[in-house]
Amino acid sequence: MKASYQKPQSSSALFKAAFALTVSAALSTQAVAAESAVEEGYYASLGYQSANVKAEGMENSLRPGIGSFVKGDDQDKANAVSIALGYDFGNNWRLEGEYTSAQEVHFTSGSSIFSGSLNNHYAESERVMFNVYRDLKLKGGFSVYATGGLGVAKIESSGWQGNSSRQYHSNTDTNLIYALGVGVGYEPVENVNFSLGYRYVDLGKVESGMNAFGNSRNLQDEQMRAHLYSSEYSLSVRYTF
């Protein structure tokens, strides 16, 4: 039996079919987005943060004549509370201002000559940030988000060397900082959202004042320095008005 011949579709027909499929997919996507969109409005949020703060660059501290730098404890944990006021634009974008309460961390470092005379560096920070969020709505009230922020941190550095009677002068740094993060959200009822997130924050460089104690050179030439980075996990609740 002779096989029948089918004329191949022209490129014009293929283009029309592809165009129709593209338009159909776009309309379907818009319909899903419309169904999952939220109403725009102002919101307030309250959060609890658990942070692991790491101090880098402590080898740049000033401690002349004491041999080489010896690494000590360069990480510490701290908790804080945050409050934020923001605006949800109703198109999966949000913008907010956030305040994070003071949290104190403690680091140590030493020297190869005076092994028992550690620098004890205390850093207490609080900050204000402006954050932008991009939400992606999922089924069942769930969502995921990405966030970035810029802000200002006020960080007070103080501490002592060897024992608490050998104090450094305190010093306060005001740093421009940034943050990047991701998270998941859940909306059990309308306008109330719970979220669990992770955020990386560069808190900038900090330094204490010079030594207030007398050293072997009878000079004020010692100072603690560090660059602080914070890895934070947060649990927060948000209410949209």
Q: Rounded distance, CA 123 to CA 46, Å?
A: 24
| Mean pLDDT of the residues in the chain | 88
Report, as an integer, the average pLDDT of 144-161: 98
Residue 103 within any structural domain of the chain: yes
The answer, yes or no, to whether residue 25 has pLDDT greater than 50, is: no
How many other β-carbons are positioned within 10 Å of the β-carbon of residue 63?
A: 23
70 and 80: one domain? yes
Report, as an integer, the average pLDDT of 25-54: 72
153 and 193: one domain? yes
127 and 18: one domain? no
143 and 225: one domain? yes
> Torsion over CA of 88, 91, 92 and 96, rounded to 10 degrees?
-30
Residue 128 within any structural domain of the chain: yes
Total domain count for the chain?
Answer: 2
15 and 63: one domain? no
The answer, yes or no, to whether residue 104 has pLDDT greater than 70, is: yes
Q: What percent of the chain has pLDDT over 90?
A: 78
Q: Rounded distance, CA 178 to CA 130, Å?
A: 9
Q: How confident is the model at residue 29 (pLDDT cuts 50, 70, 90)?
A: very low
Q: How confident is the model at residue 67 (pLDDT cuts 50, 70, 90)?
A: confident
165 and 229: one domain? yes
**Do 119 and 108 meet the contact criterion of CB atoms below 8 Å apart?**
yes
- Residue 15 domain boundaries: 9-38
| Minimum mean pLDDT range among 9-13, 60-64, 150-154, 206-210 | 9-13
Report, as an integer, the average pLDDT of 66-74: 93
Query: Mapping DSSP to helix (H, G, I), strand (E, B) and coil, where does residue 64 land?
Result: coil
Q: Rounded distance, CA 40 to CA 77, Å?
A: 37
| Minimum mean pLDDT range among 82-86, 115-119, 153-157 | 115-119
The answer, yes or no, to whether residue 38 has pLDDT greater than 60, is: no
Report, as an integer, the average pLDDT of 198-224: 95
The answer, yes or no, to whether residue 229 has pLDDT greater than 60, is: yes
Nearest to 225 by CA among 173, 176, 177, 174: 173
Residue 3 within any structural domain of the chain: no
Q: Rounded distance, CA 145 to CA 171, Å?
A: 37
CATH number of domain containing 197: 2.40.160.20
**Do 149 and 101 meet the contact criterion of CB atoms below 8 Å apart?**
no
The answer, yes or no, to whether residue 6 has pLDDT greater than 70, is: no
DSSP letter at 213 equals S
Q: How confident is the model at residue 13 (pLDDT cuts 50, 70, 90)?
A: low
| pTM of the shown model | 0.82
Q: Rounded distance, CA 72 to CA 70, Å?
A: 6
Nearest to 46 by CA among 124, 99, 87: 99
Strand ranges in the chain using DSSP code E only, listed in sequence order: 41-56, 69-71, 75-88, 93-111, 119-137, 142-161, 163-189, 192-207, 225-240
